[in-house]
Structure 1
Amino acid sequence: MTNIDEYGGGQRPSDSVLVVTTNDVPGHRVERVIGEVFGLTVRSRHLGSQIGAGLKSLMGGELRGLTKTLVESRNQAMERLVEHTKARGGNAVLMMRFDVTEAADVGTEVCAYGTAAVIAPVD
């Protein structure tokens, strides 16, 4: 059984910024568009995990250590996205996306980005 805290992510119920991958939020109106916001992290690869991943790739199967590292990176990027949104006065991020790239062959760059906005419930 997979532990959702180790291999999952996303928002917690206590988050004060709603993050969605859609253009709008049902039951809400966009009062103000603030603009682009992002959260970025770059993680280096641990030598031990690289060796383990290399051996595992010969036999096939999930690379659990690398999966956990990527989940942690995505969650950290998401936390930074939310902080950036709050700092700019937003309470929502619309059209959120992740971008993952290799960073100079030493690590992985994870960027969460979207459009910060102020939303309010429809009366």
Structure 2
Amino acid sequence: MTNIADYGGGVPADSDVLVVTTNEVPGHRVDRVIGEVFGLTVRSRHLGTQIGASFKSMLGGELKGLTKTLVESRNQAMERLVEQVRARGGNAVLAMRFDVTEAADLGTEICAYGTAVVISPLG
């Protein structure tokens, strides 16, 4: 059975920083825009995983080792994004996105970015 934590992620529900991909949060107002924030990680490929993925790609199917590595990398980028928001006095990120690129054939660069804001409930 697949462990859902191995193939998913995001900010925990009880986090003090809300991260959304939308431009607003229903039921909340933006009190202050802090500005752009990002969290970045660059990961090299594990040789064993890379060799296994090469064989698997010939046969077809999911490359589970690479999928797990990418999930871990995205989660690390998100953690760093949230740390930046806290450090700058925010409690939310609007319009969060991921950018993934190859880093000089050495690994994969994952950047989580968005707009840090301070929000409060309406009414």
Give TM class, smaller chain. Answer: over 0.9
Tell me which stretches of 4 or more aligned residues in structure 1 moved more than 4 Å: none
Instruction: Mark the runs of 5 or more structure 1 residues left unpaired by the alignment.
Output: none
Q: Take 1:64 and 1:13, find their aligned partners in 2: how far apart are those partners?
A: 26
User: Could you report, residue by residue, the CA deviation over 1:46-102 in whole angstroms, capped at 9, with x for unpaired residues?
Assistant: 111111100000000000000000000000000000000000000000000000000
Q: Deviations over 1:16-75 (max 9, x none)?
A: 100000000000000000000000000000111111100000000000000000000000
> In the alignment, which residue of structure 1 is the partner of 2:21?
21
Alignment match, 1:33 = 33
Indicate whether 1:109 and 2:109 are aligned: yes
Paired letter, 1:93: V
| Alignment correspondent of 1:3 | 3
Instruction: Give 1:3 shift.
Output: 1.4
Shift in Å at residue 11 of structure 1? 1.6
Cα RMSD after superposing both structures: 0.6
Report deviation, 1:14.
Answer: 2.1
Aligned to 2:48: 48
Q: For 1:18-97, list aligned pairs within 5 A.
A: 18-97=18-97
Q: Which residue identity is paired with 1:51? A: I
Q: Secondary structure at the match of 1:35?
A: strand
Count of matched residue pairs: 123
How many percent identity over aligned positions?
Answer: 79
Distance 1:81 1:11 in 2: 10
Mapped to 1, the partners of 2:49 and 2:106 lie a distance apart of 13
Range moving further from structure 2, 6-15 or 74-83: 6-15
Q: CA deviation at 1:13?
A: 1.9
- Secondary structure, aligned partner of 1:93: strand
